[in-house]
Amino acid sequence: MDEAIARARTLVGVSRYYRDATLEMAPLVVNCITLWQWVVVEAYDLLLPERLLSLEHSVAQNELRAGDIVLTPQCPAWNGEDDWGHCGVLTHEGTVIHATRRRRKGNLVDGVREDLFRRFLWRGFLAARRLTFR
């Protein structure tokens, strides 16, 4: 996933967040899943499913490594179609690259960000998946 992480980093501060973004809108407009769908398609010509929990290689939190897709639970106030709330990918530096839109300390955070792993997990850890390329 090093190539995907490198491509995602080029979008930090560039791409905008839109909750209903589609893959066709990427890379300029993304949500947390379309960001990773786009960079994985660009880097590896592989399309990630929208239902990330359907990926077969589950990873425990204490076994995470760079390139793993980290999933957090849904906010209680939001009842979406997915069984997870937010996703990002762990980097070698212990950060997570993700697309988000929310207020942080009064400032609007909108777009692709790279945050510390512990900050990304403010809602908790739900699951993680590891992509394997054959």
pLDDT on residue 83: 62
pLDDT on residue 114: 95
List CB contacts of 44: < 8 A, sequence separation 6 or more. 3, 4, 133
List, for residues 74-127, the tens digit of each pLDDT value.
765 555 555 678 899 999 999 999 999 876 777 777 899 999 999 999 888 999
Residue-by-residue DSSP string for 2-47: HHHHHHHHTTTTTSEE-TT--GGGTTTEE-HHHHHHHHHHHHHS-P
pLDDT on residue 80: 53
List, for residues 30-76, the tens digit of each pLDDT value.
999 999 999 999 999 999 888 887 888 999 999 999 999 999 987 65
Q: Is residue 84 part of a domain?
A: yes
Quote the CA–CA distance of 60 and 16 in Å, as a whole number.
Answer: 31
Quote the CA–CA distance of 90 and 75 in Å, as a whole number.
Answer: 21
Q: Is residue 29 part of a domain?
A: yes
What are the tokens at 118? Answer: 């512990």
Q: Is residue 114 part of a domain?
A: yes
pLDDT on residue 112: 95
Q: What is the pTM of this model?
A: 0.88
Q: Is residue 89 part of a domain?
A: yes
Q: Is residue 62 part of a domain?
A: yes
**Domains of the chain: total:** 1
Give the domain CATH number at 79.
Answer: 3.90.1720.10
Q: Is residue 134 part of a domain?
A: no
Segments forming the whole domain that contains residue 66: 2-129
